[in-house]
Chains A and B, each alone.
Chain A
Amino acid sequence: MTHFSFWIDGPIVGVYLLVTMTAGIFVRKYVGKVEHFLVAGREMDVFLGIASLAATEFGIVTCMYTAEAGYKYGFSGATPGICQALAMLVTGTTGFCIRPLRDSGVLTIPELLDRRFGPQVRWAAGLVIVLGGLLNMGVFLRIGGEFLVLVCGLNSSTFPLEWMMTLLLVMVTVYTILGGMLSVLVTDFLQFVVMSVGLLVVTILVLTNIGWDKLAATVAERHGPGGFNPFVHPELGWSYVLFQALVTTAAVLTWQTSIARVLAAKDTVTGQRIYTRTSFFFVCRFLIPGLWGIAALAVLSGEQTPNNPLYAMPTFLSQFVPVGVMGLLVAAMLAADMSTDSSYMLTWGSVIYNDLLAPWHRDRWSESAGLACNRFIVAAIGLFLLGYGLWYPLKGNVWDYLAVTGTIYLSSISTLLIACCYWPRANNWGAFAAIAAGAVIPSAFLVLEQLSVTSPLAKQVGPYYSGIAAYVAAALAMVVGSLLKVLLKRDKAKEQG
């Protein structure tokens, strides 16, 4: 039995949705050029950037997988948050990669790679970015819908999950299509405030009503020392920590939705400040829902515990959060999900337009044709998400799936970006080799995991070792490919000379 009241909590959610949609549609009048649509005319300042980055990188799916990690691994499940916060703090402080990227004035990372490695590399990089990004985003809708159904106690015959997902996506798509990055930024700001208030109120309720002692005792009883230290957890260990460090560092450097904030910033220093000042949010992003997952472990009795650990946190919240606060929680989670979906659709769409379609539209299309094309791409991504979200059977941890699909591009694009900015001998041979090596390993892992014949092998290898292998392979491929081209050219020159 859920505490969600249609008459008390429903209006809170309704008001939130109305205000968000109005704000998102209102700013469409400021969109006159492609640059307005994709990077808000590069007019974003620090605090709007912090709100936007934080709101974008926290969706219902984030809340679900971090709570699942808390439920399954205790406090050790929050390790990726610490890794990401450190990576973002160092990157923001030093400007590593993001300074040359923002200084170059490009709209996307592949556009910068074009200047160093040529248009073919730009196209290939754009393809893996879109492939990895869309596969990653494919599970957002279903998991978001499942959370809402569980927390609100909706009857699946009256409110089918598919309808919930469709309605949510249509609303997000409408304001993203109309206002692009401007709508995304303004709604992100509102969503950051609503989301943060909801997260904080529920966390304070958990800490005051259940208490730290009970949470810590539950972790100690169920997970032992491994619940507090990932290195000694039997299911995690050094490979987990190393993989998280690699994934989160690469994400800080190249994840298109994060980088879009640096590129939309009004100058390079502002971009760096957004990173530095948002960095600690990534600890909260993993720790706060992780606490909710631990609370579910502490409170739910055996018969209340769902078979899938992913559903433990929403099941717990549906019975724990009181009427009235439940409306705030649902509005907060809708805010989190809508900000993520809108930003993800826009940023992957920006790569499709700016890099994959570049050979066709470069210097030929008018601003209005460019805008229409971008709007069409956002709508097409929305349709893809609806289809993919409905039929992809997710196996294993949600975070592991996201980390593996993200690695398809994070491993190679982070290698390309670092080499592009700091290694003078890097060239297009190395770039192509890195893209291929970085994409093959995680893609193969996903396929092996889905086939019944090969799934035991995939389970034996595990997502952490296959992920680490992808990063090592991409870096090696860049070095070997680049040096091979230099050596072959030198030999050829000797022969001719």
Chain B
Amino acid sequence: MNMAERFWWLLTIFAVGWYLTVTIYVAIRGALDIRQMLARLESQQSHDE
């Protein structure tokens, strides 16, 4: 395996690992973000009324 091929191999492995981790983490934390965002908007709406 030459240097250029090794570079792409490492980048591919890292990309798949990073993407897998981020997907799981963002799936959990993103759901919490949505809940908080909708709660803030709801309280703003009731405050405006």
Give A residues with C-beta under 8 Å from B: 27, 30, 32, 36, 40-41, 43-48, 50-51, 75, 182, 185-186, 189, 192-193, 196-197, 199-200, 203-204, 207, 212, 216, 220, 225, 228-229, 280-281, 283-284, 287-288, 291
State A47–B45 Cα separation when bound (angstroms).
24
Point out the residues of chain B lying under 8 angstroms from A291, CB to CB: 12
Q: With A44-B33, A46-B33 given, is the CB distance from A288 to B19 under 8 Å?
A: yes
Q: List 14 A-B contacts (CB under 8 A).
A: A32-B48, A41-B40, A43-B40, A45-B37, A47-B25, A48-B33, A182-B41, A185-B37, A212-B9, A216-B9, A228-B2, A228-B4, A281-B22, A291-B12
**CA–CA, A173 and B17, complex, Å:** 35
The 10 closest A-B pairs by CB, nearest first: A228-B4, A47-B29, A48-B33, A196-B23, A45-B33, A47-B30, A75-B8, A51-B30, A30-B41, A43-B37
User: Are A50 and B26 within 8 A (Cβ)?
Assistant: yes
- In the complex, residue of chain B having the shortest beta-carbon distance to the beta carbon of A49: B33
Contact B16 A45 (CB under 8 A): no
Q: Which residue of A lies closest to B16 (CB)?
A: A203
Q: Chain A CB within 10 Å — which of B4, B8, B25 has the most?
A: B8
Interface of A is mostly: helix
Give the chain A neighbours of B30 by CB distance below 8 A. Answer: 47-48, 50-51, 189, 192
Closest to B19 in A: A284
Q: How many residues of B contact A (CB 8 A)?
A: 34
* Chain B residues positioned under 8 Å from A284 (CB to CB): 15, 18-19
CB nearest to B1 among chain A residues: A216
Kindly report which residue of chain B lies nearest to residue A45, judged by CB atoms: B33
Given A32-B48, A200-B19, A44-B5 contact (CB < 8 Å): no
Additional 12 contacts, C-beta under 8 A, given A30-B42, A45-B37, A196-B19: A30-B41, A32-B48, A41-B40, A41-B41, A48-B34, A50-B22, A192-B26, A196-B22, A200-B23, A216-B1, A216-B8, A291-B12
B4 touches A229 (CB 8 A): yes
**Residue contact A193 to B41, C-beta cutoff 8 Å:** no
B41 engages A43 (CB within 8 Å) = yes
Chain A nearest CB from B19 CB (Å) reads 5
Bound-complex Cα distance A40 to B38 (A): 10
Q: How far is B22's CA from A281's CA once the two chains are assembled, in angstroms?
A: 9
Instruction: Give min CB distance, B24 to chain A, whole Å.
Output: 9
B41 contacts across to A, CB distance below 8 A: 30, 36, 41, 43, 182
How many whole Å from B31's CB to the nearest CB in chain A? 7
CA distance A40 to B25 in the complex (A): 23
